[in-house]
Amino acid sequence: MPPRRVCLVLGTRPEVIKLAPVAAALRATGGELSPFVVTTGQHGEMVDQALRSFGLRPDVQLGVAHTAAGIGTLFDRVAEALGSCFHEVRPAAVLVQGDTTSAAAAAVSAYGSSLLLGHVEAGLRSGSLQEPFPEELNRRMIGCVADLHFAPTQRAAENLLREGVGAEDVLVTGNTVVDALRMMPARERFADPSLHDVDWAARRIVLVTAHRRENWRRLPDVCDALVQLAARFPDLELLVPVHRNPMVGRVVRARLGGVRGVRLLEPLEYGDLLEVLRRCHLVLSDSGGLQEEAPSFAKPILILRECTERPEVLTSGFGVLVGTDTRTIVDAASRLLTSDDAYAAMLGGRNPFGDGRASVRIAAALGRRLSTRVMPPTLSRRTPRSLRGITHP
Protein backbone atom coordinates (compact mmCIF):
# COMPACT_ATOMS: atom_id res chain seq x y z
CA MET A 1 0.00 0.00 0.00
CA PRO A 2 1.43 3.44 -0.89
CA PRO A 3 2.18 5.79 2.01
CA ARG A 4 -0.64 7.99 3.19
CA ARG A 5 -0.01 11.61 2.31
CA VAL A 6 -0.08 14.09 5.16
CA CYS A 7 -0.41 17.69 3.98
CA LEU A 8 1.66 20.18 5.98
CA VAL A 9 0.43 23.74 5.39
CA LEU A 10 3.09 26.44 5.82
CA GLY A 11 2.37 30.14 5.67
CA THR A 12 4.99 31.77 7.90
CA ARG A 13 8.52 31.12 9.09
CA PRO A 14 7.49 29.76 12.52
CA GLU A 15 5.28 27.20 10.79
CA VAL A 16 8.24 26.00 8.73
CA ILE A 17 10.46 25.79 11.81
CA LYS A 18 7.94 23.85 13.88
CA LEU A 19 6.68 21.53 11.14
CA ALA A 20 10.06 20.72 9.57
CA PRO A 21 10.84 18.13 12.28
CA VAL A 22 7.33 16.70 11.83
CA ALA A 23 8.05 16.26 8.12
CA ALA A 24 11.21 14.37 9.07
CA ALA A 25 9.30 12.19 11.53
CA LEU A 26 6.68 11.36 8.89
CA ARG A 27 9.39 10.34 6.43
CA ALA A 28 10.85 8.08 9.13
CA THR A 29 7.67 6.00 9.49
CA GLY A 30 8.99 3.40 7.06
CA GLY A 31 6.66 4.21 4.20
CA GLU A 32 3.49 4.37 6.31
CA LEU A 33 3.16 8.17 6.06
CA SER A 34 4.56 10.72 3.63
CA PRO A 35 4.74 14.52 4.09
CA PHE A 36 3.23 16.69 1.35
CA VAL A 37 4.36 20.31 1.85
CA VAL A 38 2.15 23.19 0.72
CA THR A 39 3.22 26.84 1.14
CA THR A 40 0.53 29.50 1.01
CA GLY A 41 2.62 32.61 0.29
CA GLN A 42 1.58 34.50 3.43
CA HIS A 43 5.23 35.33 4.19
CA GLY A 44 6.97 34.47 0.93
CA GLU A 45 10.66 35.36 1.28
CA MET A 46 10.99 34.48 4.96
CA VAL A 47 9.34 31.10 4.38
CA ASP A 48 11.70 30.35 1.50
CA GLN A 49 14.64 31.23 3.73
CA ALA A 50 13.42 28.89 6.48
CA LEU A 51 12.75 26.07 4.03
CA ARG A 52 16.35 26.28 2.84
CA SER A 53 17.58 26.12 6.44
CA PHE A 54 15.89 22.74 6.89
CA GLY A 55 16.51 21.41 3.38
CA LEU A 56 12.79 21.36 2.56
CA ARG A 57 11.13 21.97 -0.80
CA PRO A 58 7.40 22.56 -1.16
CA ASP A 59 5.36 20.13 -3.24
CA VAL A 60 2.90 22.92 -4.05
CA GLN A 61 3.29 26.70 -3.83
CA LEU A 62 -0.04 28.50 -3.76
CA GLY A 63 1.50 31.95 -4.06
CA VAL A 64 -1.29 33.78 -2.24
CA ALA A 65 0.65 36.96 -1.49
CA HIS A 66 -0.03 38.77 1.78
CA THR A 67 -1.18 42.22 0.71
CA ALA A 68 -2.52 45.23 2.56
CA ALA A 69 -6.05 44.04 1.79
CA GLY A 70 -6.51 42.78 5.34
CA ILE A 71 -6.81 39.60 7.37
CA GLY A 72 -10.24 38.65 6.04
CA THR A 73 -9.15 38.86 2.43
CA LEU A 74 -6.02 36.82 3.11
CA PHE A 75 -8.09 34.19 4.90
CA ASP A 76 -10.52 33.94 1.98
CA ARG A 77 -7.76 33.64 -0.62
CA VAL A 78 -5.85 30.99 1.29
CA ALA A 79 -8.98 28.96 2.05
CA GLU A 80 -10.10 29.04 -1.58
CA ALA A 81 -6.69 28.03 -2.93
CA LEU A 82 -6.31 25.25 -0.36
CA GLY A 83 -9.79 23.96 -1.11
CA SER A 84 -8.75 23.40 -4.72
CA CYS A 85 -5.43 21.91 -3.62
CA PHE A 86 -7.09 19.44 -1.25
CA HIS A 87 -9.56 18.47 -3.98
CA GLU A 88 -6.68 17.53 -6.27
CA VAL A 89 -4.28 15.97 -3.78
CA ARG A 90 -6.81 14.29 -1.45
CA PRO A 91 -4.38 13.85 1.43
CA ALA A 92 -5.12 11.36 4.17
CA ALA A 93 -4.72 14.13 6.74
CA VAL A 94 -3.86 17.81 7.10
CA LEU A 95 -1.53 19.22 9.76
CA VAL A 96 -1.50 22.88 10.73
CA GLN A 97 0.68 24.55 13.33
CA GLY A 98 0.00 27.34 15.73
CA ASP A 99 -2.17 30.34 15.13
CA THR A 100 -1.56 32.03 11.77
CA THR A 101 -4.16 33.11 9.25
CA SER A 102 -2.87 30.39 6.92
CA ALA A 103 -3.35 27.77 9.64
CA ALA A 104 -6.89 28.92 10.40
CA ALA A 105 -7.85 29.00 6.71
CA ALA A 106 -6.33 25.56 6.20
CA ALA A 107 -8.26 24.19 9.17
CA VAL A 108 -11.58 25.46 7.87
CA SER A 109 -10.79 24.21 4.37
CA ALA A 110 -9.80 20.76 5.67
CA TYR A 111 -12.99 20.61 7.70
CA GLY A 112 -15.02 21.52 4.64
CA SER A 113 -13.27 18.76 2.68
CA SER A 114 -13.93 16.16 5.44
CA LEU A 115 -10.20 15.60 5.93
CA LEU A 116 -8.62 14.47 9.18
CA LEU A 117 -7.13 17.58 10.78
CA GLY A 118 -4.31 17.66 13.32
CA HIS A 119 -3.35 20.83 15.18
CA VAL A 120 0.29 21.06 16.25
CA GLU A 121 0.87 23.37 19.24
CA ALA A 122 -2.78 23.20 20.24
CA GLY A 123 -4.39 24.59 23.36
CA LEU A 124 -2.41 27.78 23.93
CA ARG A 125 -4.69 30.52 25.30
CA SER A 126 -4.01 34.07 26.44
CA GLY A 127 -7.62 34.71 27.43
CA SER A 128 -7.77 37.90 25.34
CA LEU A 129 -8.94 38.04 21.73
CA GLN A 130 -6.95 41.26 21.33
CA GLU A 131 -3.55 39.95 22.50
CA PRO A 132 -2.16 38.33 20.48
CA PHE A 133 -4.27 39.67 17.61
CA PRO A 134 -5.53 37.85 15.55
CA GLU A 135 -3.67 34.74 16.74
CA GLU A 136 -5.83 34.06 19.79
CA LEU A 137 -8.94 33.92 17.61
CA ASN A 138 -7.18 31.71 15.07
CA ARG A 139 -6.19 29.17 17.74
CA ARG A 140 -9.72 28.98 19.08
CA MET A 141 -11.15 28.54 15.59
CA ILE A 142 -8.74 25.72 14.79
CA GLY A 143 -9.56 24.07 18.10
CA CYS A 144 -13.24 23.93 17.11
CA VAL A 145 -12.63 21.82 14.00
CA ALA A 146 -9.45 19.82 14.70
CA ASP A 147 -9.70 16.04 15.12
CA LEU A 148 -6.35 15.64 16.88
CA HIS A 149 -4.93 18.25 19.26
CA PHE A 150 -1.17 18.01 19.83
CA ALA A 151 -0.66 20.06 22.98
CA PRO A 152 2.90 21.18 23.77
CA THR A 153 2.38 21.23 27.55
CA GLN A 154 0.04 19.83 30.18
CA ARG A 155 -1.39 23.31 30.76
CA ALA A 156 -2.30 23.60 27.08
CA ALA A 157 -3.97 20.19 27.24
CA GLU A 158 -5.99 21.27 30.25
CA ASN A 159 -7.20 24.33 28.35
CA LEU A 160 -8.58 22.05 25.64
CA LEU A 161 -10.24 19.68 28.11
CA ARG A 162 -11.95 22.64 29.82
CA GLU A 163 -13.31 23.67 26.43
CA GLY A 164 -14.91 20.27 25.96
CA VAL A 165 -12.39 18.51 23.71
CA GLY A 166 -12.42 14.75 24.33
CA ALA A 167 -9.43 13.39 26.23
CA GLU A 168 -8.92 10.75 23.51
CA ASP A 169 -8.27 13.55 20.99
CA VAL A 170 -5.64 15.39 23.07
CA LEU A 171 -1.99 14.33 23.30
CA VAL A 172 0.73 16.16 25.24
CA THR A 173 3.75 15.99 22.94
CA GLY A 174 6.12 18.76 23.93
CA ASN A 175 6.82 21.62 21.56
CA THR A 176 8.30 20.79 18.16
CA VAL A 177 10.50 23.90 18.37
CA VAL A 178 12.79 21.90 20.69
CA ASP A 179 13.02 19.22 17.97
CA ALA A 180 13.85 21.93 15.42
CA LEU A 181 16.62 23.39 17.56
CA ARG A 182 18.29 19.99 17.72
CA MET A 183 18.28 19.84 13.93
CA MET A 184 20.30 23.07 13.75
CA PRO A 185 23.84 22.66 15.13
CA ALA A 186 25.99 25.51 16.40
CA ARG A 187 27.93 27.36 13.70
CA GLU A 188 31.17 29.26 13.64
CA ARG A 189 30.25 31.44 10.66
CA PHE A 190 27.14 33.53 10.15
CA ALA A 191 25.21 33.73 6.90
CA ASP A 192 24.77 37.48 7.55
CA PRO A 193 28.31 38.95 7.24
CA SER A 194 27.40 41.96 9.40
CA LEU A 195 27.24 39.66 12.42
CA HIS A 196 30.97 39.04 12.08
CA ASP A 197 31.51 42.72 12.93
CA VAL A 198 29.98 42.23 16.39
CA ASP A 199 32.51 42.09 19.23
CA TRP A 200 31.05 39.01 20.90
CA ALA A 201 33.85 38.76 23.44
CA ALA A 202 33.98 42.33 24.74
CA ARG A 203 30.34 43.40 24.61
CA ARG A 204 27.14 42.11 26.20
CA ILE A 205 24.73 41.31 23.40
CA VAL A 206 20.99 41.89 23.71
CA LEU A 207 18.74 40.39 21.05
CA VAL A 208 15.62 42.49 20.42
CA THR A 209 12.62 41.72 18.21
CA ALA A 210 9.28 43.51 18.07
CA HIS A 211 6.62 43.05 15.42
CA ARG A 212 3.25 42.12 16.99
CA ARG A 213 0.29 43.85 15.41
CA GLU A 214 -1.13 44.90 18.78
CA ASN A 215 2.21 46.59 19.54
CA TRP A 216 2.48 48.69 16.37
CA ARG A 217 1.24 51.87 18.07
CA ARG A 218 3.54 51.16 21.04
CA LEU A 219 6.72 50.69 19.03
CA PRO A 220 7.97 54.26 19.68
CA ASP A 221 7.92 53.53 23.44
CA VAL A 222 9.87 50.30 22.94
CA CYS A 223 12.41 52.10 20.77
CA ASP A 224 12.81 54.85 23.37
CA ALA A 225 13.61 52.16 25.96
CA LEU A 226 16.33 50.76 23.72
CA VAL A 227 17.86 54.20 23.23
CA GLN A 228 17.99 54.69 27.02
CA LEU A 229 19.52 51.26 27.63
CA ALA A 230 22.19 51.84 25.00
CA ALA A 231 23.10 55.16 26.64
CA ARG A 232 23.07 53.75 30.18
CA PHE A 233 25.21 50.69 29.41
CA PRO A 234 28.02 51.50 26.97
CA ASP A 235 29.17 47.87 26.92
CA LEU A 236 25.87 46.72 25.40
CA GLU A 237 25.23 46.02 21.76
CA LEU A 238 21.55 45.68 20.93
CA LEU A 239 20.96 43.55 17.83
CA VAL A 240 17.61 44.39 16.26
CA PRO A 241 16.48 42.32 13.25
CA VAL A 242 13.89 44.58 11.60
CA HIS A 243 10.69 42.85 10.57
CA ARG A 244 9.78 43.20 6.91
CA ASN A 245 6.35 44.63 7.61
CA PRO A 246 6.63 48.32 6.65
CA MET A 247 4.46 49.33 9.62
CA VAL A 248 7.28 48.05 11.82
CA GLY A 249 10.27 48.98 9.69
CA ARG A 250 9.38 52.65 9.29
CA VAL A 251 9.17 53.28 13.03
CA VAL A 252 12.19 51.19 14.02
CA ARG A 253 14.50 52.68 11.40
CA ALA A 254 13.38 56.24 12.14
CA ARG A 255 13.83 55.87 15.92
CA LEU A 256 16.91 53.66 16.08
CA GLY A 257 18.87 54.34 12.91
CA GLY A 258 22.31 55.70 13.80
CA VAL A 259 21.90 55.20 17.58
CA ARG A 260 25.21 54.24 19.15
CA GLY A 261 25.08 50.71 20.56
CA VAL A 262 22.12 49.67 18.38
CA ARG A 263 22.72 47.54 15.28
CA LEU A 264 19.77 47.25 12.89
CA LEU A 265 19.77 44.01 10.88
CA GLU A 266 17.79 42.44 8.11
CA PRO A 267 15.61 39.50 9.24
CA LEU A 268 17.98 36.73 10.25
CA GLU A 269 18.18 33.33 8.62
CA TYR A 270 17.06 30.83 11.26
CA GLY A 271 20.49 29.33 11.82
CA ASP A 272 21.89 32.82 12.43
CA LEU A 273 19.07 33.64 14.83
CA LEU A 274 19.80 30.53 16.86
CA GLU A 275 23.53 31.30 16.94
CA VAL A 276 22.78 34.82 18.19
CA LEU A 277 20.60 33.24 20.90
CA ARG A 278 23.45 30.93 21.89
CA ARG A 279 25.85 33.86 22.26
CA CYS A 280 23.65 36.67 23.59
CA HIS A 281 23.25 37.81 27.18
CA LEU A 282 19.59 38.79 27.22
CA VAL A 283 16.49 38.74 24.98
CA LEU A 284 13.78 41.41 24.68
CA SER A 285 10.94 40.32 22.42
CA ASP A 286 7.22 40.14 21.76
CA SER A 287 7.69 36.98 19.69
CA GLY A 288 5.90 33.78 20.66
CA GLY A 289 8.64 31.59 19.22
CA LEU A 290 11.44 33.31 21.13
CA GLN A 291 9.54 32.71 24.37
CA GLU A 292 10.07 29.00 23.65
CA GLU A 293 13.55 29.22 22.18
CA ALA A 294 15.11 31.37 24.92
CA PRO A 295 14.59 28.73 27.67
CA SER A 296 16.03 26.11 25.32
CA PHE A 297 19.28 28.13 25.35
CA ALA A 298 18.99 29.10 29.04
CA LYS A 299 18.62 32.81 28.24
CA PRO A 300 16.38 35.21 30.19
CA ILE A 301 13.69 36.91 28.13
CA LEU A 302 11.80 40.11 28.90
CA ILE A 303 8.49 39.75 27.08
CA LEU A 304 7.27 42.96 25.43
CA ARG A 305 3.61 42.08 25.90
CA GLU A 306 0.88 42.52 28.49
CA CYS A 307 -0.10 38.83 28.51
CA THR A 308 1.15 35.58 27.03
CA GLU A 309 -0.42 32.35 25.82
CA ARG A 310 2.78 30.62 26.99
CA PRO A 311 2.58 31.05 30.79
CA GLU A 312 5.06 28.19 31.22
CA VAL A 313 7.89 30.57 30.33
CA LEU A 314 6.85 32.68 33.33
CA THR A 315 6.40 29.87 35.83
CA SER A 316 9.71 28.28 34.82
CA GLY A 317 11.42 31.58 35.63
CA PHE A 318 12.99 32.23 32.22
CA GLY A 319 10.56 34.98 31.22
CA VAL A 320 9.02 38.12 32.70
CA LEU A 321 6.17 40.14 31.21
CA VAL A 322 7.26 43.79 30.99
CA GLY A 323 4.82 45.19 28.43
CA THR A 324 5.76 48.15 26.26
CA ASP A 325 6.07 51.02 28.72
CA THR A 326 9.47 52.68 28.32
CA ARG A 327 10.28 53.02 32.02
CA THR A 328 9.17 49.47 32.85
CA ILE A 329 11.37 47.99 30.11
CA VAL A 330 14.39 50.06 31.14
CA ASP A 331 13.99 49.22 34.83
CA ALA A 332 13.56 45.48 34.23
CA ALA A 333 16.49 45.24 31.83
CA SER A 334 18.71 47.41 34.04
CA ARG A 335 18.08 45.11 36.99
CA LEU A 336 19.31 42.09 35.03
CA LEU A 337 22.26 44.01 33.64
CA THR A 338 23.46 45.24 37.04
CA SER A 339 22.64 42.31 39.35
CA ASP A 340 24.30 38.94 38.82
CA ASP A 341 21.92 37.44 41.38
CA ALA A 342 18.82 38.71 39.56
CA TYR A 343 20.17 37.38 36.28
CA ALA A 344 21.05 33.96 37.72
CA ALA A 345 17.63 33.68 39.39
CA MET A 346 15.97 33.59 35.95
CA LEU A 347 18.07 30.64 34.78
CA GLY A 348 17.48 28.08 37.50
CA GLY A 349 14.35 26.50 36.06
CA ARG A 350 13.76 23.61 33.72
CA ASN A 351 12.87 24.02 30.05
CA PRO A 352 9.08 23.61 30.08
CA PHE A 353 8.73 22.84 26.37
CA GLY A 354 9.76 19.22 26.13
CA ASP A 355 12.49 16.73 25.33
CA GLY A 356 12.87 17.06 21.56
CA ARG A 357 10.70 14.05 20.63
CA ALA A 358 7.42 15.85 20.02
CA SER A 359 7.51 15.18 16.27
CA VAL A 360 7.93 11.43 16.76
CA ARG A 361 4.91 11.37 19.07
CA ILE A 362 2.85 13.34 16.56
CA ALA A 363 3.72 11.02 13.67
CA ALA A 364 2.95 7.94 15.77
CA ALA A 365 -0.41 9.28 16.95
CA LEU A 366 -1.37 10.30 13.43
CA GLY A 367 -0.50 6.84 12.14
CA ARG A 368 -2.64 5.20 14.80
CA ARG A 369 -5.65 7.40 14.02
CA LEU A 370 -5.33 6.91 10.28
CA SER A 371 -5.12 3.13 10.67
CA THR A 372 -8.79 3.17 11.67
CA ARG A 373 -9.88 5.67 8.99
CA VAL A 374 -10.90 4.84 5.44
CA MET A 375 -8.38 6.08 2.86
CA PRO A 376 -9.55 9.00 0.71
CA PRO A 377 -9.99 8.58 -3.05
CA THR A 378 -6.82 8.33 -5.15
CA LEU A 379 -5.31 11.41 -6.73
CA SER A 380 -7.19 12.90 -9.63
CA ARG A 381 -5.10 13.13 -12.79
CA ARG A 382 -7.03 16.18 -13.91
CA THR A 383 -6.05 19.56 -12.47
CA PRO A 384 -9.12 21.59 -11.50
CA ARG A 385 -9.43 24.88 -13.31
CA SER A 386 -8.94 26.82 -10.09
CA LEU A 387 -5.57 25.10 -9.51
CA ARG A 388 -4.10 25.90 -12.91
CA GLY A 389 -1.26 28.35 -12.62
CA ILE A 390 -0.22 27.18 -9.16
CA THR A 391 3.48 26.39 -9.14
CA HIS A 392 4.60 22.81 -8.62
CA PRO A 393 8.36 22.94 -7.98
- Is residue 329 within 8 Å of 303, Cβ to Cβ? no
* DSSP 8-state class, residue 228: H
* DSSP 8-state class, residue 180: H
Q: Which of 15, 59, 121, 306 is catalytic?
A: 121
| CA 62 to each of CA 9, 77, 86, 92, 109: distance values in angstroms, whole numbers, following the listed order | 10, 10, 12, 20, 14
- Is residue 165 within 8 Å of 143, Cβ to Cβ? yes
Q: Which of 43, 77, 211, 310 is catalytic?
A: 211
Cα-Cα end-to-end distance for the chain: 26
- Please name the residue ranges forming H helices in the chain: 13-27, 44-53, 71-89, 101-112, 135-145, 154-162, 176-182, 219-232, 246-256, 270-279, 288-296, 312-315, 326-338, 340-345, 358-370
Q: Which of 52, 140, 203, 213 is catalytic?
A: 213
Instruction: Confirm whether 211 is a catalytic residue.
Output: yes
Instruction: Confirm whether 99 is a catalytic residue.
Output: yes
Instruction: Confirm whether 169 is a catalytic residue.
Output: no
- Is residue 281 within 8 Å of 206, Cβ to Cβ? yes
Q: Which of 59, 135, 136, 275 is catalytic?
A: 135
Instruction: Confirm whether 43 is a catalytic residue.
Output: no
Q: Which of 15, 99, 136, 275 is catalytic?
A: 99
CA–CA dist 89, 168 (Å, integer): 28
The angle at the Cα of 86, spanning 116 to 62, to the nearest 5 degrees, equals 125
CA–CA dist 226, 238 (Å, integer): 8
Burial class (CB in 10 A: 0-12, 13-18, 19+), 211: buried
Closest residue by Cα to residue 265 from 198, 323, 312: 198
Instruction: Confirm whether 335 is a catalytic residue.
Output: no
User: What is the helix (H) or strand (E) element at residue 94, kind and residue range?
Assistant: strand 93-97
| CA 180 to each of CA 14, 23, 103, 153, 339: distance values in angstroms, whole numbers, following the listed order | 11, 11, 19, 17, 33
CA–CA dist 51, 39 (Å, integer): 10
Instruction: Confirm whether 135 is a catalytic residue.
Output: yes
- Is residue 120 within 8 Å of 362, Cβ to Cβ? yes
Residues belonging to the active site:
99, 121, 135, 211, 213, 243
